[in-house]
Amino acid sequence: MLKISEARPNKRIISKAAHIIRYGGTVIFPTETVYGLGANAFDESAVLKIFKAKSRPKDNPLIVHIADVGWLSRVVEEIPERFEPIFESVWPGPITFVMRKSKSIPDCVTAGLNKVSVRIPSNRIALSLIKASGVPIAAPSANMATRPSPTKAQHIMEEMKGKVDMILDGGQSAYGIESTIVDITSKVPTVLRPGPFTIDELRKILGNVHYQKQNRSTGKPTAPGMKYKHYSPSKPLFLVEKSSMKKIIDFCVKEKIGVVAICSKETSMEINYKNAIILGSESDMYQIARNLFDSFRKLDISDAEVGLIQSFEENGVGAAVMNRINKATGFSKVDETDSFLSLFTKRRK
């Protein structure tokens, strides 16, 4: 693991990492969303190392990262003309587009689908690495399957140490949640995963956009990977309405259940409880997003038995935040002490 600065990525480190990618190895690198676990997207045996390192099911496709819009023709069958100006305006950035796949991309990258997802990251370390490698880099988030995506090098050391050839530590991820994914092969572009690039921003540039919120009752996954348990801490975590937080905490204290509250600065002031992990202020949902996955890992290493996370408004990036919270809590929302106790007892067994 090597430290590298985003302001001025060290050329020797980048060229070492690029060498590993070109020769079929794996490198964990920072992006502006979360850390990625990368390999040469054209090299099937290198890509298989990603699945192995993460214990990722083979039916879950990977995102291909490129350095420049000019590289698109190397990974997609056909560049959809009407989207060219859009690519130029949003990339590099936290948005991924799903397009028809080129034959040069091995089937294992797309899990046998005829579509490939592509993104140009804006993090300068990521961009320098892709450029220096000279090949597109397939990279999922650099966590073990089902765990929260890593947003700090320390998260990677917790579970990926010894499983890859190199780790680049570029500090904390700027957004802290994964990119927005939009399928543009259908007539109306469809959001498969909400992310830092918001639905409102998308509608401004794309016009009509489909977005079907994933919920417990339909449960229908929007992207292949969304069917899996995801982003989860190991300890039980429950979603709680802000107004019920105090009541459930008081109950836990009375019953001697060790509990941590994951909440905004504003909520923490209201509940006035010492065992709180503060995500940031509700006036800056990007800050809440940035600290979200770190809070799940903090819950796991705390002494508490259970976490309660508050609910947020689903405006702007709040939609992506709530998508991750819903998946992490398995859509289990509790607002009464009875329902909390019965769900918690079930999880405890």
Given the rule CB under 6 A, which residues bind ligand TXA? 31, 33-34, 36, 60-63, 96, 98, 110, 113, 115-117, 119, 139-141, 178-179, 181, 192, 223-226
Q: Which of ligand TXA, Mg ion, none is residue 60 near (CB under 5 to 8 Å by kind)?
A: ligand TXA
* Sign, Cα dihedral of 228, 230, 233, 238: negative
For residue 14, what is the enclosing H or E element?
helix 11-22
Q: Which of Mg ion, ligand TXA, none is residue 179 near (CB under 5 to 8 Å by kind)?
A: ligand TXA
Among 33, 30, 36, which Cα is nearest to 9's? 30
31/133 with CB nearer ligand TXA:
31
141/332 with CB nearer Mg ion:
141
Q: Which of ligand TXA, Mg ion, none is residue 332 near (CB under 5 to 8 Å by kind)?
A: none
Among 297, 256, 299, 242, which Cα is nearest to 275's? 299
35/83 with CB nearer Mg ion:
35
117/244 with CB nearer Mg ion:
117
Task: Sort strands 276-278 and 210-211 into parallel, antiparallel or unpaired.
Answer: unpaired
One-letter identity of residue 244: S
Provide the token pair at 97.
Answer: 């587009």
Site size with Mg ion, rule: CB under 5 A: 1
Restricted to residues 132-151, the positions that interact with Mg ion (CB under 5 A) are: 141
Q: Please answer whether residues 312 and 318 qualify as being in contact, where contact means their C-beta atoms are separated by less than 8 angstroms.
A: yes
* Least distance CB 25 / ligand TXA (angstroms): 17
Provide the token pair at 75.
Answer: 């990974």
CB count within 10 Å of CB 278 equals 17
Per DSSP, the three-state class of 227 is helix
Provide the token pair at 242.
Answer: 């802000």
Q: Which of ligand TXA, Mg ion, none is residue 62 near (CB under 5 to 8 Å by kind)?
A: ligand TXA
232 binds Mg ion (CB under 5 A): no
Q: Which residue is nearest to ligand TXA, using beta carbons?
A: 225
Cis amide leading into 140 (omega within 30): no
- The single residue listed with the structure tokens 């880099």 is 137
Q: Which of Mg ion, ligand TXA, none is residue 226 near (CB under 5 to 8 Å by kind)?
A: ligand TXA
* Least distance CB 243 / ligand TXA (angstroms): 33
129/261 with CB nearer ligand TXA:
129
* Least distance CB 99 / ligand TXA (angstroms): 9
165/282 with CB nearer ligand TXA:
165
Compute, in degrees rounded to 10, the torsion defined by CA atoms 233, 237, 240, 245: -110
* Least distance CB 129 / ligand TXA (angstroms): 12
For residue 134, what is the enclosing H or E element?
none
Per DSSP, the three-state class of 183 is strand
> How does DSSP classify residue 207?
S
State how far the Cα of 84 lies from the Cα of 152, in Å rounded to an integer.
33
Q: Which of ligand TXA, Mg ion, none is residue 209 near (CB under 5 to 8 Å by kind)?
A: none
* Least distance CB 79 / ligand TXA (angstroms): 16
123/141 with CB nearer Mg ion:
141
For residue 238, what is the enclosing H or E element?
strand 237-240
141/198 with CB nearer Mg ion:
141
Q: Which of ligand TXA, Mg ion, none is residue 117 near (CB under 5 to 8 Å by kind)?
A: ligand TXA
* Least distance CB 42 / ligand TXA (angstroms): 16
List helix spans (H) across 80-120.
Answer: 84-90, 107-110
Q: Which of Mg ion, ligand TXA, none is residue 40 near (CB under 5 to 8 Å by kind)?
A: none
Provide the binding-site residues for Mg ion, judged by CB under 5 A: 141
